[in-house]
Structure 1
Amino acid sequence: MANPILGTLIHAIGGVAASTCYVPLQKVKKWSWDTYWLLQASFAWFIFPFIIGFLTVPNLMDVFAKADMSILINATLLGVIYGFGGMCFGYAIKHIGYSLTYTISIGISAILGTIVPLIMHGEMAEKYNAPGGHIVFLGMFFALIGIVICGVAGYKKEKDLKNKNVEGGEPLTFNMKKGLTLTLIAGVLSAVFGISLEVGEPISKIAEEYGAGQFQGNAKLILSTFGAFLTNLIWFTVVGVKKGTLKQLVDVKGIGVKTYTLNFGMSVLTGALWYGQFFFYGIGHTNMGEFGFASWVIHMSMLIFFSYIVGILMKEWKQVSKKTNQVLGLALVILIASFIVMAYGTMLGEGSIGGH
């Protein structure tokens, strides 16, 4: 039995996991960023998806065996393409911080990842005209406005910081141009991940037949994440060999047992949180019923909202002007309104369906 309100709340839990997944990076010491990224990617996109998949989907290998080969290949290849987006996302954080990277990248992903599958299936008009459909699309429009205003706040932030210095007299390293370029690429390719999940949806249906229930999405997720893992494994292995940093993964004595253990633990935590977002995405999506098409934009909007909360807690907005903070506040209010409107639309639609 579908429950869109519960689905929206579960998407919120996924949003919290996603918005905090790169925070552990702050604790990593004496490792190159490339080493950290390769290890967290191994857990986020390979180890956790396979372990949780086997634990929650009965007869997982039979599910894959029953699936059409073209679906298996296409979902994995789209995951490979997304893998480059994941890399760009990580680099963008280094230039413009958590809040803006999440907002712009995930904002693009939210819209493209929702609209493209509807166009692919020729369902745009059908979903809009369905009971509650126009309300859901209105909420999506609000989300887009909130995302744009967040971007405006970002440019205002850059202007505010230009003439300010951090403690110690060193200028702040905030590069909107470079960060924006990386973020735009990450956003488009992140939407590809949503499309990969959509392509793999028939695998979820097979998993449901085998008794996976609410965890049916864990089967298709393995394909999408495995593709992303392959891209990052090849890229960062080559980079690690060239830079001579790959040995850091096993050099315990070089940085000390305590630091190595902390670095390893923070990388695993990053991977767990990243995977957690889509673990909850799958359950939330299952609960959305006829409004499953709105799952991606709801999930991404939640992610943006909570990433700003994380950014504020990390004092990324501490040195900006009062006016910039007001613009940011307006954006967050509009994003909250979009969640409420989308949840209301799905509730109307489910009520109508239930009444038939």
Structure 2
Amino acid sequence: MSVVAGIGWHLVGAASAAAFYAPYKKVKGWSWELMWAIGGLFSWVIMPWLVTAMLVPNLAEFYSHIPISTFFMLAFCGAMWGIGNITYGLTMRYLGLSMGIGIAIGLNLAVGTLLPPMLRGELVNVITSPGGGLTMLGIVVALGGIAIVAYAGNEKEKALDERAEEFNLKKGIMLAVVCGIFSAGFAFGLDASGPIKAQSEAMGINYLYVAMPAYGFIMGGGAIVNFAFCLYNIFTNKQISVRNDISLPRKLMMRNLAFTAIGGIMWYLQFFFYGWGEASVPERLGYINWMLHMSGYVLFGGVIGLIMAEWKGVGTRPVRILVLGLMVIIVAANIVGLGMS
């Protein structure tokens, strides 16, 4: 195991997460619900089970050694994560991008990092362990970096006169809290996947892939929630017409499908490389994986925003604040690396 490799793989996964929506922006003529559902089919169903099938020759034999309660717990955590996905979008709607990211991602990072060891009664041991103080400091610094990035986004919105679609502070903060807690469901699911990881190790699966056979159940729980949300909108919103969506010219349909598939696969790859990162981090410091992932998500989200000229015309001050926030997050990752080593 390599601490540097673990941080590196988490950053690769975070970069994929931050960039996954770029292909979706190329989709034309489809409702958001159809695009999200088809992309989700690739990210939450096809990819996790395809990878699992490549790793495990006999799925029935493999899973027969896993307690039924584990499957239910993984699906439950995945459903939590799915609710977090939905409320994340609503948070942006009521608070705007910058404030929404600052509150939702900050809470997500804190909850997903600290709650699992707290529920196991290990938080005190974690804090007092060798390097524990430094890793906790890294979490605090990362939260500070996210707050700075959120402030930069707020300054950007002011400069460009951008406003939340339906600004509502009370409703937005409530949804951000729900999002921050529920989105961490994926971290809880991985924490509960011990029996599957143990079975993977017993089969001789490479340590980088031991968590992969759990993904189908975690993402499956999230898929059920997201598909149900999309179907509800399709059947209740009269402005959405699937018949119109699928009656587009064949060339445009194939183009939409290709971009949607690419976006969905990129969304899955964040957790593929998360698995590699988690496997590379010493088990005693496993609680730090979610912090690295979420910090990297904000870091690359800012970088991609700059590359795609989303900050064009805002002046130098908001960009300087953004760069400061991104540098603070990089420092946080290095502090965590020191604590882990």
TM over 0.5: yes
In structure 1, list runs of 5 or more residues that go unmatched.
163-171, 348-356
Give 1:338's aligned residue. 332
Deviation string 1:84-126 (CA, Å, 9 cap, x unpaired) is: 2212334556777877655543332111101000101111121
Give 1:350's aligned residue. none
SS in 2 for 1:27: coil
**Paired residues of 2:97 and 2:164 also in contact (CA < 8 A):** no
1:296 and 2:290 are equivalent in the alignment: yes
How far apart, CA to CA, are the structure 1 residues paired with 2:176 and 2:310? 17
Q: CA deviation at 1:184?
A: 4.4
Q: CA deviation at 1:78?
A: 1.8
How far apart, CA to CA, are the structure 1 residues paired with 2:67 and 2:280? 25
How far apart, CA to CA, are the structure 2 residues paired with 1:176 and 1:110? 26
Give 1:287's aligned residue. 280
How far apart, CA to CA, are the structure 2 residues paired with 1:99 and 1:25? 21
In structure 2, list runs of 5 or more residues that go unmatched.
none
How far apart, CA to CA, are the structure 1 residues paired with 2:163 and 2:24? 17
The verdict on how the C-alpha distance between 1:86 and 1:342 changes in structure 2, with shifts beyond 3 A counting, is same
Give 1:62's aligned residue. 61
Give 2:242's aligned residue. 246
Give 2:229's aligned residue. 235
Larger deviation, residues 221-230 vs 187-196: 187-196
**Paired residues of 1:40 and 1:268 also in contact (CA < 8 A):** yes
| TM-score, normalised relative to structure 1 | 0.87
How far apart, CA to CA, are the structure 1 residues paired with 2:89 and 2:256? 17
Q: CA deviation at 1:161?
A: 2.5
1:189 and 2:182 are equivalent in the alignment: yes
Aligned 1:206-355 pairs, distance under 5 A: 206-213=199-206, 214-243=208-237, 244-247=240-243, 251=246, 254-289=247-282, 290-347=284-341
Equivalent AA in structure 2 for residue 247 of structure 1:
R
**Paired residues of 1:99 and 1:304 also in contact (CA < 8 A):** no
How far apart, CA to CA, are the structure 2 residues paired with 1:98 and 1:197? 28
How far apart, CA to CA, are the structure 2 residues paired with 1:321 and 1:273? 32
Equivalent AA in structure 2 for residue 283 of structure 1:
W
How far apart, CA to CA, are the structure 2 residues paired with 1:278 and 1:98? 23
How far apart, CA to CA, are the structure 1 residues paired with 2:198 and 2:135? 25
Deviation string 1:235-255 (CA, Å, 9 cap, x unpaired) is: 212322334533356x2xx22
Q: CA deviation at 1:174?
A: 4.2
The verdict on how the C-alpha distance between 1:104 and 1:60 changes in structure 2, with shifts beyond 3 A counting, is farther
Q: CA deviation at 1:207?
A: 1.6
Give 1:167's aligned residue. none
Q: CA deviation at 1:73?
A: 0.4
Q: CA deviation at 1:323?
A: 2.3
Deviation string 1:269-312 (CA, Å, 9 cap, x unpaired) is: 11101110101111110110132221110111111100111111
CA-based RMSD: 2.3
**Paired residues of 2:83 and 2:183 also in contact (CA < 8 A):** no
Deviation string 1:180-206 (CA, Å, 9 cap, x unpaired) is: 545544332211221122122332122
Match of 2:195 among 202, 214, 217: 202
Equivalent AA in structure 2 for residue 177 of structure 1:
F
The verdict on how the C-alpha distance between 1:248 and 1:55 changes in structure 2, with shifts beyond 3 A counting, is farther
How far apart, CA to CA, are the structure 2 residues paired with 1:245 and 1:83? 24
Equivalent AA in structure 2 for residue 192 of structure 1:
G
Equivalent AA in structure 2 for residue 270 of structure 1:
G
Larger deviation, residues 331-340 vs 306-315: 306-315
The verdict on how the C-alpha distance between 1:309 and 1:346 changes in structure 2, with shifts beyond 3 A counting, is same
SS in 1 for 2:184: helix
The verdict on how the C-alpha distance between 1:98 and 1:312 changes in structure 2, with shifts beyond 3 A counting, is farther
Give 2:14's aligned residue. 15
1:177 and 2:167 are equivalent in the alignment: yes
The verdict on how the C-alpha distance between 1:178 and 1:310 changes in structure 2, with shifts beyond 3 A counting, is farther
SS in 2 for 1:139: helix
The verdict on how the C-alpha distance between 1:319 and 1:61 changes in structure 2, with shifts beyond 3 A counting, is farther
Give 1:24's aligned residue. 23
Equivalent AA in structure 2 for residue 216 of structure 1:
V
Give 2:33's aligned residue. 34
Between the aligned residues of both structures, percent identity stands at: 28
The verdict on how the C-alpha distance between 1:123 and 1:248 changes in structure 2, with shifts beyond 3 A counting, is farther
Give 1:169's aligned residue. none
Larger deviation, residues 332-341 vs 53-62: 53-62
Kindly tell me the number of residue pairs found equivalent between the two proteins: 334
